[in-house]
Every structure is written in structure tokens, then in C-alpha cells.
Amino acid sequence: MDKWVIWILIIIVSLVGASANILWKVASDRIGQISWEKLLDLRWDLQTVFTPLVFTSLFLMFVSRFGSIVPTTYMGITQLITAITILSLIFTALLDIAFLKTKYPIEVWIGMALGLAAVYFINRGLQ
């Protein structure tokens, strides 16, 4: 498989995961604060899991993780997980800004830039 195809798959997996993160944030805001008592209540758990937002976000998280199987046959697991983690963080922040109007301090963006540099150096040896 060509190197660019692998990177497109990694970007898609990261974007799907980031979309799931944003949906999860919206769903958790709607649910409100969760106590251990609520979390251990099976009836509440089932009602919550099958609400459309929660279910969709969990499904997208699953698809994102499942989709990461393909690139693992072409690169090391450390290379893959580093790339997906950093790109998911960046895509989540961008979606958070676009849809939820969150503002991040410059230190966050510097950290993400350092993360992108790490992805570059860790994946330099990718064949």
C-alpha cells in the first residue's frame, strides 16, 4: 500500500475519532454530572447509552479504533498510535473551536505543534 494511502487512512481515523469526541462532549453536557450511584445503576446506564448522541459518539469511537487496524500492518504500533493521538487532539480542538466556540491558550497550540513534530520524527522511517 502506498505511503500516502496509509496517511489518508490515519487522517480519516483521526477525524472520525475527533468527531466522536465532540459528540461525546455535547452528550455529556446534556446528561450533566454523573455520580457513582448513577453510573452503577444499570437502568440509567442502558437509557443513557441508547440515547442518540451517546450511541452515535460511542459507535464513531468504535469505528475509529477499528479503522486503525489497517495501518498497523504497514507501520509500527508506536508510530500509528502517536500519529492518531496527536492528529485526533488537533482535529478535536479545531472542531471544538468551530462548533462549540471553545478558546484555547497559545500554550495548547504550541504543545500540539510539538506533537506534530513528534509525529514527523517518529514516522520518518516509515517505508
- Residue 80 confidence (pLDDT): 86
For range 9-22, the mean pLDDT: 95
- Residue 102 confidence (pLDDT): 95
How many Cβ atoms from other residues are within 10 Å of residue 127's Cβ?
Answer: 5
Give start and end residues of each alpha helix (H) in 1-127. 3-31, 36-39, 42-49, 52-67, 69-72, 77-100, 106-123
- Residue 127 confidence (pLDDT): 55
- C-alpha torsion sign, points 127, 1, 14, 20: negative
Q: Angle CA(55)–CA(72)–CA(11) in degrees, nearest 5?
A: 60
- Residue 126 confidence (pLDDT): 60
Please state, in angstroms and rounded to a whole number, the distance separating the CA atoms of residues 47 and 87: 32
Position 125 pLDDT exceeds 80: no
Distant-in-sequence, close-in-space partners of 93: CB < 8 Å, separation ≥ 6: 102, 104, 108, 112
Higher pLDDT, 104 or 82: 104
